[in-house]
């Protein structure tokens, strides 16, 4: 049986940043990620849909360092480059299907939305590279936590069917609360009010889907468009230029079609409808991309639960995320539990920093008790 001071569940931005901070503090940890890749909802892919060092963000993409100092400080500390979201040019507003789209002068952005050079996965790669490889495992899903007299026993199921048990003094759950409650059994059980809090906390991105069209060149810029559009017609209510820092040209939009309807209509029909909308807004060349990308987060079982497709919105702050018998051994660190930036990249950074501070205090108190 493996023993460690801290088990981290989840290898997204929060889990990896928690691991970085623990490693820097000399605290032994093991990180387990259920997916076969690190990153969680951060997923940067190339035009073929494969994870890449430079590509398109199927999950979160933007950050605002002046408004979100936690993510700004982390990006600076890691030495990552960023660039501004393209907003130069006219915007398009589509009000009704029976009238032509309206073309309006763009107003720019204030504050400026930034994107990471290489995509948001640059954060994941850099954080992962700072960690001892033998402390990080992918394809390992936590299925149960059992409270012991002096710690926690974590039961894991690996992708190959192998089971593993790990003992730790502390567990940092860098997962959305709703996903944690749905997929990991706790013994003893949570107090009913804590369980309801986790169940009622929406998972950011879980109800949503994004569509990308990749082109040989950003032709809309040549025509004086910014690539930004809003529509009351659909299927995408909000669209933006997704061209990468290296010049890979693309447009993307958030789907305004609900998760159940997306499943019923299907990706092929929605792709056709999205390309037709791009063509209405930006001209006939938009109907002929060299590739399209699609990510429906509601269909991702390691992101969304059955409750998520009908539960959009930002999570609300809570005074305490863990009460009852688990309050001294388990701490939540997913972006959703951030008191200020819940759901955002900045929220994952804030939540992980707070979690590591709490874990460090607990381990010090435990050492002091034994002295």
Residue 354 backbone dihedrals phi, psi, to 5 degrees: -65, -40
The CATH number given to 43-119+207-299 is 3.90.660.10
Is pLDDT at 311 greater than 80 in this prediction? no
Q: Are 43 and 58 in contact (CB under 8 A)?
A: yes
Is pLDDT at 123 greater than 60 in this prediction? yes
90-94, 214-218, 250-254, 312-316, range with the lowest pLDDT: 312-316
Residue 62, exposed/middle/buried by CB under 10 A (0-12, 13-18, 19+)? middle
Q: Take residue 217 and report the two structure tokens written for it.
A: 């060149």
Whether 43-119+207-299 and 1-42+122-204+315-371 are alike in CATH topology: the answer is no
Q: Which fold has domain 1-42+122-204+315-371?
A: FAD/NAD(P)-binding domain (3.50.50)
Query: How far is the C-alpha of 347 from the C-alpha of 159, rounded, in Å?
Result: 29
Q: Using one digit for the tens of pLDDT, what is the confidence trace for 142-200?
A: 999 999 999 999 999 999 999 999 999 999 999 999 999 999 999 999 999 999 999 99
- For range 113-119, the mean pLDDT: 97
- CA distances in angstroms from 187 to 159, 165, 334, listed in the order given: 23, 15, 21
- pLDDT band, very low/low/confident/very high, at 327 (cuts 50, 70, 90): very high
Is pLDDT at 269 greater than 90 in this prediction? yes
Question: What per-residue confidence (pLDDT) applies to 370?
Answer: 56
Cβ-proximal residues to 39 (8 Å cutoff; 6+ apart), any chain: 11, 12, 13, 59, 121, 124
The residue among 162, 196, 157, 199 whose CA lies nearest residue 177 is 199
Cα angle, residue 209 at apex, residues 207 and 214 outer, rounded to 5°: 170
- CA distances in angstroms from 48 to 52, 288, 294, listed in the order given: 10, 16, 11
pTM: 0.95
Q: How large a percentage of the chain has pLDDT more than 70?
A: 98
Mean pLDDT over the full length of the chain: 95
Where exactly are the structural domains of the chain? Answer: 1-42+122-204+315-371, 43-119+207-299
Question: What per-residue confidence (pLDDT) applies to 369?
Answer: 59
Question: What per-residue confidence (pLDDT) applies to 1?
Answer: 84
Is pLDDT at 290 greater than 80 in this prediction? yes
Q: Are 350 and 338 in contact (CB under 8 A)?
A: yes
Q: Take residue 47 and report the two structure tokens written for it.
A: 């035009």
Cis amide prior to 235 (ω within 30 degrees): yes
Angle between helices 13-24 and 121-129 (to 10 degrees): 30
């Amino acid at each position: 049986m493996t023993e460690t001071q801290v088990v981290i569940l989840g290898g997204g931005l929060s889990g990896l940043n928690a691991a970085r901070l623990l490693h820097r503090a000399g605290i032994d940890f093991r990180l387990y990620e259920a997916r076969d890749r690190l990153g969680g909802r951060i997923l940067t892919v190339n035009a073929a849909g494969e994870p890449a060092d430079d590509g398109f963000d199927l999950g979160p993409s933007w950050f605002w360092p002046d408004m979100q100092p936690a993510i700004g400080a982390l990006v600076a500390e890691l030495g990552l480059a960023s660039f501004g979201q393209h907003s130069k040019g006219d915007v398009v507003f589509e009000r009704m299907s029976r009238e032509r789209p309206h073309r309006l002068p763009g107003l720019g952005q204030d504050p400026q939305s930034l994107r990471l050079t290489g995509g948001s996965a640059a954060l994941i790669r850099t954080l992962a590279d700072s960690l001892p490889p033998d402390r990080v495992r992918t394809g390992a899903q936590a299925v149960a936590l059992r409270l012991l007299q002096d710690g926690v026993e974590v039961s894991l199921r690996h992708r190959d069917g192998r089971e593993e048990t790990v003992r730790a003094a502390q567990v940092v759950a860098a997962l959305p609360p709703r996903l944690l409650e749905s997929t990991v059994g706790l013994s003893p059980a949570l107090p009913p009010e804590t369980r309801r809090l986790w169940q009622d906390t929406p998972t950011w991105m879980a109800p949503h889907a994004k569509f990308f069209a990749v082109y040989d060149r950003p032709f809309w810029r040549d025509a004086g468009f910014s690539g930004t559009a809003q529509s009351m017609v659909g299927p995408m209510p909000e669209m933006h230029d997704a061209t990468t820092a290296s010049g890979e040209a693309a447009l993307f939009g958030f789907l305004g079609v609900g998760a159940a309807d997306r499943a019923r209509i299907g990706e092929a029909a929605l792709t056709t409808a999205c390309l037709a909308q791009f063509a209405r807004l930006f001209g006939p060349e938009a109907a002929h991309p060299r590739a399209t990308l699609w990510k429906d987060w509601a269909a991702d079982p390691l992101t969304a639960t059955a409750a998520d497709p009908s539960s959009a919105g930002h999570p609300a702050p809570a005074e305490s995320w863990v009460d009852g018998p688990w309050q001294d051994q388990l701490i939540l660190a997913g972006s959703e539990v951030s008191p200020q930036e819940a759901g955002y990249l900045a929220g994952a950074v804030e939540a992980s920093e707070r979690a590591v501070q709490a874990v460090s205090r607990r381990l010090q108190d435990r050492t002091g008790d034994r002295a």
